[in-house]
Amino acid sequence: ERQEARPYNRQRLLVVANRLPVSAVRRGEDSWSLEISAGGLVSALLGVKEFEARWIGWAGVNVPDEVGQKALTKALAEKRCIPVFLDEEIVHQYYNGYCNNILWPLFHYLGLPQEDRLATTRSFQSQFAAYKKANQMFADVVNEHYEEGDVVWCHDYHLMFLPKCLKEYNSKMKVGWFLHTPFPSSEIHRTLPSRSELLRSVLAADLVGFHTYDYARHFVSACTRILGLEGTPEGVEDQGRLTRVAAFPIGIDSERFIKALGVTEVVKHMTELKERFAGRKVMLGVDRLDMIKGIPQKILAFEKFLEENANWRDKVVLLQIAVPTRTDVPEYQKLTSQVHEIVGRINGRFGTLTAVPIHHLDRSLDFYALCALYAVTDVALVTSLRDGMNLVSYEFVACQEAKKGVLILSEFAGAAQSLGAGAILVNPWNITEVAASIGQALNMSQDEREKRHKHNFHHVQTHTAQEWAETFVSELNDTVIEAQLRISK
């Protein structure tokens, strides 16, 4: 497969992310079935025509035997995917442990785990060792498939150690790293025991990208304050070598959503939903069930709104769709029961024999059902406590050309910087403020809704995922050329 002919002008792009964009299910000793999971990153890169993208990542399953590994590798090759095989112990320590229990909460300002300080320190060390080991395994696979001229694009907090491993293999490799979460203030980052090692390994990349200018600035401050390096307008300098640091706000494939609204199945869903909730305004929350999404805070704000506005009690419904994720991590199990308890209490308090104020679903919706829901919604509630960007807010706006509904958006989501002018911005910790914003949204005049929607719709249509990926990769190519010019001067 590596000898396959390709047009000379199409550069190969190796996209390295913790998870491959496909889910694999084992059907027999040597047979697998694969399903593409269409996330934001997948559709962004499918739309980029100048590059020939290949994916490298973990398939999300444990495959201990060689027969299974060979068969899966072969099946994945047809989807241009290359697997990294991680065993259960590594997954536990690296993915559940260091990635999801340490880096994820820290980068979202929730701090480090504190239950048992000594035990935590010990597990820190073994989890960090597993993190480095896993990153090295990703690097081995990249190196095996790398060809001169390829661009290697590493994604997210799972792979902060990867740029360093790759450059150790080949200092000429073009390496970019993009973070999908916030990068926190340097005062938060400096609490991490492995703070310096992680920063140094990220700095081995040629280009480091974030969703917003603030995250980029926090990263540069961490490098200057913790490592004592020099921050420049272009990035971070270490003994004459520059790592370029910049903001690349992601977007969505807005056309995919707009087109879907014309599909018969979506129209049918919309009709059903409109009938089901006739006479009531629909409010919507769509989130992964994660503590950063502020789901309990959102529901409590809705309760406060109902408490203070008796006239709205039978005229509004909140649909909260929450996909369970990371169900192995105890904090996520606790969150699920906490949300269920609050929803149960509020429905008991304000429900009637025929209607309840909150419909809470613990599951994922297929694309068409999701589009239909976005389209019939009057008010969307995105109340993340912190969120790198938040694509749900973009998807909602894309589906609202007809209705011109209102977006209530947390000021702590990266999207507040792009959709802030059209949304009602709130501090999700302030339940009273969020409750008041619900009232404001439900009572907003048609004129104002149109004005706000127009601003946001324009933004969502002109800042697409495809443009994001193209800009990042071309900036990476330029950065490497500029560095070569500097060296040859």
Binding site for ligand ADQ (CB under 6 A): 40, 180-181, 250, 286-288, 321, 323, 364-365, 370, 387-392, 395
CA distance linking residue 476 with residue 439, whole number of Å: 46
Pairing mode of beta strands 281-289, 379-382: parallel
Residue (167 or 326) nearer to ligand ADQ, CB? 326
CA atoms within 13 A on the CB side of 482: 13
Residue (288 or 403) nearer to ligand ADQ, CB? 288
Structure tokens at 205: 């990349």
Shortest approach of ligand ADQ to residue 386 CB, angstroms?
9
Shortest approach of ligand ADQ to residue 472 CB, angstroms?
12
Residue type, 366: D
Q: Which residues pair with 289 in a beta bridge?
A: 324
Q: Which residues pair with 405 in a beta bridge?
A: none
The beta-strand segments (E) located in 386-428 are 406-410, 424-426
CB neighbours of 181 closer than 8 A, spacing ≥ 6? Answer: 104, 107, 108, 156, 157, 388
The beta-strand segments (E) located in 349-480 are 358-361, 379-382, 406-410, 424-426
Residue (370 or 419) nearer to ligand ADQ, CB? 370
Shortest approach of ligand ADQ to residue 118 CB, angstroms?
31
Residue (32 or 302) nearer to ligand ADQ, CB? 302
CB neighbours of 458 closer than 8 A, spacing ≥ 6? Answer: none
State the CB neighbour count (10 A cutoff) for residue 171: 9
Structure tokens at 244: 């370029």
Residue (205 or 370) nearer to ligand ADQ, CB? 370
Shortest approach of ligand ADQ to residue 60 CB, angstroms?
15
Shortest approach of ligand ADQ to residue 353 CB, angstroms?
28
One DSSP character per residue, 111-173 reads ----SSHHHHHHHHHHHHHHHHHHHHHHHHHHHHH--TT-EEEEESGGGTTHHHHHHHH-TTS
Residue (180 or 404) nearer to ligand ADQ, CB? 180
Shortest approach of ligand ADQ to residue 375 CB, angstroms?
14
Shortest approach of ligand ADQ to residue 41 CB, angstroms?
7
Residue (222 or 321) nearer to ligand ADQ, CB? 321
